[in-house]
A and B are shown apart, each in its own frame.
Chain A
Amino acid sequence: MRELRPHTIIALVEDRPGVLNRIANKWRQRGFNIESLAVGHSETPGLSRMTIVVDANTDADQVVKQLDKLVEVVEIRDISEERKVARELALVKVHATAQNRSQIIEIVDIFRAEIVDVGPDSVIIEVTGEGDKIDTMFNLLVDYGIVEMVRTGSVALVRGPASSTPARHDLGEEPFERYPESEPPYSDK
């Protein structure tokens, strides 16, 4: 329990069947509480990039270390302390009548959101931003009557020219390939 705020962890993982199951299994087994998870293709074919947000009561250091033990997890880092861009997308369906639609549009403009669908009694708003921004907008829209909402969970990258998940040998760690000597560490001492 180092500090009371959520941690953002990003990982590069092999894009193979069963990988998400392995990761989810670690969470379940070790009792980690995950607030959100977003997965999609990365810039490298065969690798997916994950953004994981864990709640403040979860030991993020253990999350990183335990997931790193999975063979399919290629790179993983806690970027909570880094300068980063983190964004989440939400679609919010709100009751909207002819009378209050303009008020809703005003809120949408303030948050630089967009109305992506309009019906006789409702609108769907698309909003992108950090979680706090979406929460704030949601609270303002509650009074109009929210029909439903969907959120993607946060995706994040570290600011600046470097990769968010630099390959470890670039960080001075030993490269991965080396077959062990055929002799076991001890035989008949």
Chain B
Amino acid sequence: MELSGAQMVMECLAREGVEHIFGLPGGSNLPLYDALPQYPQMQHILVKHEQCAAHAADGYARVTGKVGVCFATSGPGATNLVTGIANAWMDSVPMVAITGEVVTGLIGRDGFQEADITGITLPITKHNYLALDVHELPGMVREAFYIASTGRPGPVLIDIPRDVFQQRAEFVYPEKVELRGYRPNVVADREQVNKAVELIAKSERPLILAGHGVIISGAFDELREFAEKANIPVITTLLGIGGFPGSHPLNLGMPGMHGMYWNNIAISESDLVLGIGMRFDDRVTGRLRDFAPGAKIIHVDIDAAEIGKNVQPAAALHGDVKAVLSELNKLVEHRERPDWFARLDDLKREHPSITIRETDRLLPQYVIQKIYDCSGDDFYTVTGVGQHQMWAAQYYRSDKPARFVTSGGLGTMGFEIAAALGVQVAKPGDLVWSICGDGGFQMTLQNLAVISEHNLPIKFAIMNNSYLGMVRQWQTLFYGDRRIATPLKNPDFVKLAEAYDILGMRVTDKSQVESVIYKAIDHPGPVVIDFQVRGDENIFPMVPPGAALQETIDLPQFEEEKVETLA
């Protein structure tokens, strides 16, 4: 059958099972939009800014495991995607971005709305393409989905000039993908597996550090079986949250910069750290040379380049987490480690890192905990970046996997609105909380119009402290409390919500919290809640930037209104 380039792209998307596309049209991708009505099995969601399209595709992909798809036009449309693509890149999220490009005759001649988007996205995509011939399109799209979703997932961009969209040719769908330089299927070396089993058997003080890889490979059951069988406590990294049941007795919560005090000390005392589907990021390790000084490392990762990048493992298990854990589960043996568990219990008892103090003030951590308490056992949480994100991570206890969506590697403020949009589109019947900062909320709030238009019942909980809170905390602790460019003059968020025809509510007093949360959950449409929380609240524990995990500052017993500067 003869198709236009635009139809070929849509035909390929249909064959990949794409159901939702987030995007915004413009001159260069108009032919693609013109072909949309011929494919009613796909719903297009028009966003207000392309960054939202990329974040929405990102959130969508994280909760479905499918490839998220976004469209943008050439030039500014494409460059507006960049933050969203970088975010997906850092967090290994499968995404295909299709951008329009100026006509082939104009490429390289600074045409109107021309930007070298394949050049720009080179360092933040797993792969990218510039299509110069309509015959290449079916193979490119198929490859793009294959590359985005296999191995360590990531974003792939296809840049298509307007005239290539319009050219017609016979549609030939490739039977299979043949990429001689791309081999996503790796099987961990048998010798290394045996070595890992031996290290585990010998270890007296082991810890599992479970990361995003557990969720990406769907290894929830395998990780649980492994932890229980080998009897090893599990620490989940920020992106690993939801890879291991929150209420499981072996779950120790988050490590690192704002992780649990007990975890940071335990890592420092451990004799074996099993990094499973994680990359020993600086926010996890603290000062690298003092990370887990007494521990041997077992590193399981599908990306060979992560193994040995930051820490040198004693056993390197290069493979898919699910497959490696299945293998280990056949071989590991149970071992009682009473002293180690007693030590962990002591640490937890002596340093109850995340206890919320008694006060009449409205504390953000109290609000977040209440949201969790009131939302039952199956709901999605999307966060922005900053203090509220860390509290949301610290108090998260859900047993359901892959329901905590946050921007980890890139730390993109504004992610909370756009990603929640994608999550709710993917999970139309489920409760989705977007826990927002007042700063981040204002970075992508134009997309409230999209949420209102589609009546996506997202519950936005703004932790409104009238500051760029995390930055203010660093100023307080490390810059003599000089609060430069961090106080925020905020709009009336309730009125703002109402302007978008969204229910807005304000909470200024602790006593209102629960009833407003329930009211939001019961409301059939989207809700914006302006929680006017204490502005000077700081997030602890904290590893000061550049410090080692051993130097974690535990939850200090500061006087309510006074925080001492460490500068």
Contacts and interface: CB of A to CB of B under 8 A. Distances in A.
Interface string B282-298: 00000000000000000
Contacts of A62: 305, 308-309
A148 interface: no
A72 B123 CA distance: 15
B127 interface: yes
Interface residues of A, number: 33
Contact of B147 (A29, A71, A74, A75): A71
B558 interface: no
Task: Say which size band chain B's interface belongs to.
Answer: 35 or more
Contacts of B511: none
Contacts of B66: 184
Interface string A171-189: 0011011111010111101
B360 interface: no
Interface stretch (B174-182, B329-337, B444-452): B174-182
A177 B180 CA distance: 8
Nearest 10 interchain pairs by C-beta: A184-B65, A185-B218, A65-B305, A186-B218, A74-B181, A176-B183, A71-B182, A65-B304, A29-B123, A71-B127
Nearest to A169: B183
Interface string B117-154: 01100110011001000000000000000110110000
Contact of A71 (B181, B308, B309, B322): B181
B64 interface: yes
B17 interface: yes
Contact of A168 (B122, B183, B322): B183
- Secondary structure of the A contact surface, majority rule: loop
Contact of A66 (B182, B217, B305, B307): B305
B499 interface: no
A13 B181 CA distance: 8
A18 B131 CA distance: 13
A186 B180 contact: no
Interface of A: 13-14, 18, 21-22, 25, 29, 61-62, 65-66, 68-75, 168, 173-174, 176-180, 182, 184-187, 189
Interface in B231-258: none
Given A176-B183, A185-B65, A186-B65, A68 B122 contact: no
B99 to A, nearest CB: 16
Contact of B322 (A25, A72, A185): A185
